[in-house]
Amino acid sequence: MDSHPPQSGALEMLLARASAQALQDPAPNAADLDTILAAGLRAADHGRLRPWRFVIIAGAAREAFADAAVAALQARQPDAPASEAARMRGKLLTPPLIVALGVHIVPDHKIPEIEQMMAVAAAAMNMLNAAYALGYGAKWVTGPNAYDPAVAAALGLAPPDRLAGFLYLGTPAGPIVPVSRPTVADHRIDWQG
C-alpha cells in the first residue's frame, strides 16, 4: 500500500499553473517568500551539491539592480539607444520582487556542470509552483542579463558561478490567462527498443 496517497489538489494546481505576465504589489511577504525559497530547496540535486544561490532584489535594491543591468547593457552594446536602456529599466522596476537564480558551480566535479545548472532550474520550477499555490503571480525571465558575467558579478556571483535567470514575483495585475498546452501525445515517444 502506498504510504503517500495522491494529492489531487496539488495535481490540479500543477496542471493549472501559468506565468503571470503583469505583476504589481504586494510582493510575497517574508513568511511566504521563505516558503517559496524552501520549495526551491526541495528540488532534485544530483550529488547533493546544493548549488542554489537565491539573490533577493526588493525595495530600493531594485533601483541599484536596474543601474547594474543598464551598465551591463551599455558595455555589451555601446551604441544601444537610450530608449532600450529606459525600456530595460522599466521592466526591472515593474515586478515588486526579483529572485536572481544563482548557480554555485563546482568545476571539475564528477557531477557535470549541466546537472548543477539543472538543479537550479528544478528549484526555479518548484518556486514558480509554490508562488502560484500561495496566490502570487510569478514568471521566469532570462535574456542577455542572465548570461552576462558583469550582471552576475554585480549580484555577488563570482566565476565560475553564474545565473540561470530571474524569477519575477508579485500579485497578478489581472487574471492569469490559461495558456494553451500541447497534448501529451505530441510529445510522448514509446520506445520499442
Query: Can you read off the three cell numbers belonging to residue 76?
Result: 555589451
pLDDT digits (tens, 9 = 90+) for 39-98: 999 999 999 999 999 999 999 999 999 999 999 999 999 999 999 999 999 999 999 999
Mode of pairing for the β-strands spanning 137-141 and 162-172: antiparallel
Q: Is the pLDDT of residue 11 over 80?
A: yes
Tell me how many helices (H) and strands (E) the chain has.
6, 5
In the chain, domain spans: 21-57+95-171
pLDDT at 1 over 50: no
Rounded average pLDDT over 116-131? 97
Task: Let me know: does 64 contact 93? Beta carbons within 8 Å.
Answer: no
pTM (two decimals): 0.92
The pLDDT-based confidence of 175 (bands split at 50, 70, 90) is confident
The better pLDDT of the pair 176, 79 is held by 79
Cα 6 from Cα 8, distance rounded (Å): 6
Q: How far apart are CA 167 and CA 110, in angstroms?
A: 29
CATH T-level assignment (fold) for domain 21-57+95-171: NADH Oxidase (3.40.109)
Higher-confidence residue: 11 or 45? 45
Contact by Cβ (8 Å): 154, 68: yes
